[in-house]
Structure 1
Amino acid sequence: MNVQLYSRLLVVFLTNTVWTRNIRPMYDQPDTYDWSFYSFECPQECFCPPSFPNALYCDSKELKEIPAIPARIWYLYLQNNLIETVTGKSFVNATQLKWINLNNNKITSNGIEKGVFGNLKNLLYLFLENNELEEVPAPLPLSLEQLRLARNKIATIPAGVFNNMENLTALDLHQNKLLDSTLSSDTFQGLNSLMLLNIAQNSLTKMPPTPPANVIQLFLDNNSIEAIPENYFDATLKLIFLRLNNNKLTDKGLPSKIFNISSLLDLQLSYNELTKIPSINVHLEHLYLDNNRIDSINGTQICPVPIPGDHVYERNLPRLRYLRLDGNEIKPPIPFDLMLCFRLLHAVVI
C-alpha cells in the first residue's frame, strides 16, 4: 500500500515539474543569461550577447541592408558596413530603440525612407557619420538627444527640421558642405537644450545664426569666416568653449569687446590673420593665438583689469593659465607687464 502511494506521488511530482519547465507563466521574465531564449530571434548576420539582451551587434559584417530588428532591442550597432538604404520594414517591431549607430556606411539621402526615423518615438541617439547624405534627414523624433551627421555631403537643412526638438543636446554637422545660404535665422530655433553645436569644416564665410542660449561648446574651425558681428554673443550666456581656428579673421573683423564673455574659459583663434591680441574677459583660462601675424605684446593693454599691485587676493586676479603665441612674429623675452597681469599663467608658448 505504501509503495503504491509513493509511486503515485512521484508521478504527480514529475508531471508538475515537466509542466512548469515547459510552460512559462506570463509574469516570469526570462533570465538575461538564458542564451537559448534570445538566440532564436537574433538575425543570423548579427551577434546577440546573452549578458546584454537589449543590444544587437551587426557592425563590420559587410551588410548591404538592415535586417529585421527584434522588439527587445534598445541599442543597435550597424557601423562599418555597406548599407545604402534605411527602410521602415527593418524597424516594424523595434519600437523601443534608443540608440542607432549607422556610421561608416553608404547611405544617401534618397536611400532613407520618409519618416523612418520619425516613427522611432523613443530614440535618443542617432549616429550617421561618414555616409553620403546630402541633407539632414527629416522628420526626426522629438525624443532625440544627440544627432551626429559629421563627414557627409550635407548642403541642405530642410526648413523646420529642428523645430520643437527640445531634448536635443548635441548637433554635430562638421565636415559637410554647408554654405551661408544653407543657414537661415530660424534654422536652430527651438533647440532650447542644445549644448554642443559643431559646424567646423564647412564653407561658411560669416558666423552662423546666433546659437541657442544654452550652447556651451561652439566649434567653427576650418571655415572662411572673416568677421564676427557686434553683440553676437550677447544671448549665449553659458558659452564655455569657442573654437574659430583656421578661418580668415582680422583685427577689423573683431569688435573691441567681442570676447568679453564672462562664462568663456577656452578661446581658440589659431591660424587666422590677427596682428594683435584681442581683449579678453578676466575669467578666460586658455587662449590660443598661434600662427597669426602678431608681432608684439603689450601686457598693460591686454590685461582685462588694471595691473594688480603687490598685495592682491588670488580670486581677484585674471584667470588666464595657458597662452599660446607660437607661429607669430613675436620674439622673446616675454614682457614683464604680461606676467604682472596674468600671475596664474602656467605656460606661455612663443
Structure 2
Amino acid sequence: MNRTMKAGARLLSALTLLLLLGAVFTQRPRPKKPTRRPATPRKPPARLPTVPPQPEPKEPTDFPPPILGPPSIFPDCPRECFCAPSYPNALNCENRNIRVIPVIPSRTHYLYLQNNYISEITSEPFLNASEVRWINLANNRIHRIDKQVFEKLPALLYLYAQRNQLNEVPSGLPETLEQLRLSRNRISKIPPGAFNNMGSLTMLDLYHNQLSDSGLGKNSFKGLTNLVQLNLAHNTLRRMPTSIPTSLVQLFLDRNRIDDIPKNFFDNYVHLAFVRLNYNQLSDKGVPKNVFNVSSLLDLQLSHNQLASIPLFNSHLEHLHLDHNTIESINGTQICPYSVQADPSDMSQVPKLRYLRLDGNHLNPPIPLDVIMCFRLLHSIVI
C-alpha cells in the first residue's frame, strides 16, 4: 500500500511539473513587429566656394591645331604652307587651321590663305613680300587689316577678303589694285576717300554687307575712274547710290529696299549695259516712265518688285526680266521702241529684244499680237 501511494505521489508530482512548464511556455510574450524609424532628414550638400569667372583665353581653344605641310625643297617655305616645286611663285596656305600669317617669302606672287582662322592682318609677315600680286583671304575671321600692310605690297592686283568680319573698307589700299572682293562681311559704311587714286580698280564687290544710305556719301566712290562692275546687292539701301562712277558697265542692286529712282539717274552712264534691281520695292510711282530708256542698256532685271506696268526701254535692250510683279496687261503699241515711220525692211531699226520674262504677274496668254509685231527678234517669252 505504501508503495502504491508513493508511486501515485510521484506521478502526481510529475504531472504538476509538466503543467507548470506548459503554463510558462504559453505565457511567453510574442515578439513585436519592428517599427519603421522616421526618415532622418538629409543635410543639404555643402555649397562650394564661388570661383570668380576666368577671362577667356586670347586664342579660342576650340580651334584645331595647325596642319603642317610636307618638307619642301624651298628653305624659306613656312611649315604651315605648301610650296609646289612646279609653281615657285605660289604659296599655298589654305585649309591649314592657321591663326597667324607666317612670314611670306620674297619670291611669292600668289598667296592663298583662305579657309583658316586668321583674325587680323599685320604688316610683319609681309616685310619682304613686295612682289605679291594676288592674295586670297576668304573665309577667315578677319576683323582688322593694318593700313601698313598695303605699304609692303606695291604690286598687289587682286585682293579677295570675302566671308570675314570687317566693319569697314580697309584703308590704305594700293593704287595698283584691280579687283577687290569684300562680300559677306559686316561693312556698314565707306569712309570718304577710301578709294582715292584707285584708278586701276575695275571690280568692286560689296555684296551681302550692311550698307545703308547713311553709309554711302557722295565721295564714297571718288577715285574709281575706271570701275566696270559694282555689286551692292543684298544690303539695306532705300535710295539709288549717288556719285557712282560713270564708267560702270554692270550695276547690281538686287535685294535692297529701293523704292524710288531719280528721273535722270542713268543719263550720264553711257557704258552701262547690265542693271539688276530684283527684289526691291519699286512701283510705278517710283519708276519714271523713261528712266530706263538708255541706249547702252542690254540687260535689265526688275523681277520681284511691285510694278503694275512695263516701263519704256530703248530698242537696243536684249533681255528684260519683269517676272513676279503686278502687271495685268501689255500694250505693245505703248512699249514698242520702234517708230511706225521706220522702214520695216531696215533690220537696224528693229528692236533687239530677244528674251522677255513676265511670269508671276496677272497675265493670261496669248501674247498680244502688237507685241509680236513689234519685237520680231523675240526668241523666248515666259508668261
Q: Which runs of 5+ in 2 are unaligned?
A: 1-70
Aligned residue among 290, 310, 334 for 1:301? 334
Q: Quick check: 339-348 or 208-217, which moved more? A: 208-217
Q: Deviations over 1:144-198 (max 9, x none)?
A: 1111000000012122111111100000001000010111111111111100000
2:110 maps to 1:78: no
CA distance in 2, matches of 1:328, 1:309: 32
Aligned 8 A contact 1:95 1:122 in 2: yes
Secondary structure (helix, strand or coil) at the match of 1:197 reads strand
Q: 2:150 aligns to what?
A: 117
Q: Deviations over 1:212-248 (max 9, x none)?
A: 1111000000000001101111111100100000000
CA distance in 2, matches of 1:38, 1:139: 35
CA distance in 2, matches of 1:322, 1:308: 25
AA matched with 2:137: L
2:202 maps to 1:186: no
CA distance in 1, matches of 2:207, 2:242: 16
Aligned residue among 216, 223, 244 for 2:256? 223
CA distance in 2, matches of 1:312, 1:164: 50
2:97 maps to 1:62: yes
Aligned 8 A contact 1:169 1:196 in 2: yes
AA matched with 2:290: K
Q: Deviations over 1:1-28 (max 9, x none)?
A: xxxxxxxxxxxxxxxxxxxxxxxxxxxx
Counting only pairs closer than 5 Å after superposition, residues 148-297 of structure 1 correspond to structure 2 as: 148-297=181-330
Q: 2:134 aligns to what?
A: 99
AA matched with 1:55: A
Aligned residue among 354, 357, 363 for 1:321? 354
Offset of 1:316 from its aligned partner? 1.6
CA distance in 2, matches of 1:289, 1:127: 33
Q: 1:108 aligns to what?
A: 143
Secondary structure (helix, strand or coil) at the match of 1:116 reads helix
* TM-score, normalised via structure 2 length: 0.80
Q: Which runs of 5+ in 1 are unaligned?
A: 1-35
Distance 1:123 1:308, change over 3 A: same
Q: Deviations over 1:102-147 (max 9, x none)?
A: 00000003xx223212431110000100000111110111111111
AA matched with 1:254: V
CA distance in 1, matches of 2:343, 2:250: 36
Aligned 8 A contact 1:308 1:341 in 2: no
AA matched with 1:347: S
Aligned 8 A contact 1:217 1:239 in 2: yes
Query: Percent identity between the aligned chains?
Result: 55
Q: Quick check: 116-125 or 161-170, which moved more? A: 116-125
Q: CA RMSD in A?
A: 1.6
Distance 1:260 1:38, change over 3 A: farther
CA distance in 1, matches of 2:76, 2:244: 45
**How many residues are treated as equivalent by the alignment?**
314
- Rg larger in structure: 2
* TM-score, normalised via structure 1 length: 0.87
CA distance in 1, matches of 2:128, 2:118: 20
Q: 1:47 aligns to what?
A: 82
2:140 maps to 1:127: no
Aligned 8 A contact 1:244 1:268 in 2: yes
Q: Deviations over 1:267-300 (max 9, x none)?
A: 0000000000000000000000000000110111
Offset of 1:311 from its aligned partner? 4.1
Aligned 8 A contact 2:338 2:349 in 1: no
Offset of 1:37 from its aligned partner? 8.8
